[in-house]
Amino acid sequence: MSEAVANAALMRRYYEEVFNRRNLEFVLEHLHPDIVGHGPGIDDELRGADQVAAFSRYVFEAYDDYHFTLEETVAEGDRVVVRGRVAAVHRATGKPVRFFGITLYRLENGRIREYWRAYDRLDLYDRQLGGWRP
């Protein structure tokens, strides 16, 4: 199995385990200890496995019925792009939300080492949640 095929398979499993099954142990097992996460804002950055895991916990606390539908993965070497959609209920407002996102991952020795995430926060916070901010 090529590196790209193995990395794409890991990312598909990661999304299923983490976002659809809320398996935080899987997060910690598959993040490099020195992971760096970028985005979605230009200045948004998470450093280290503990910060990335804390963000996952925040997502689980902020949204009920969170479900990620993986629509596409594209892999080359140590990079994997994941494109998908989220449907959930925002706990603080009780409003249903839907958004899409694209994330580019860089993997190192079977662990996520770095990522760049983009999704439409303006639509999510302003249109769907009526100006609510975290």
- Tens of pLDDT, residue by residue over 78-129, are 999 999 999 999 999 999 999 999 999 999 999 999 999 998 777 777 777 8
* Cis before 96 (ω within 30): no
Taking CA atoms, 41 is separated from 2, 35, 79, 121, in Å, by 33, 17, 21, 9
CATH class entry, domain 3-128: alpha beta
pTM for the structure as a whole: 0.89
Query: Hey, where are the domains in the chain?
Result: 3-128
For position 43, what pLDDT does the model report? 75
**Separation between Cα atoms, residue 75 and residue 102, nearest integer Å:** 13
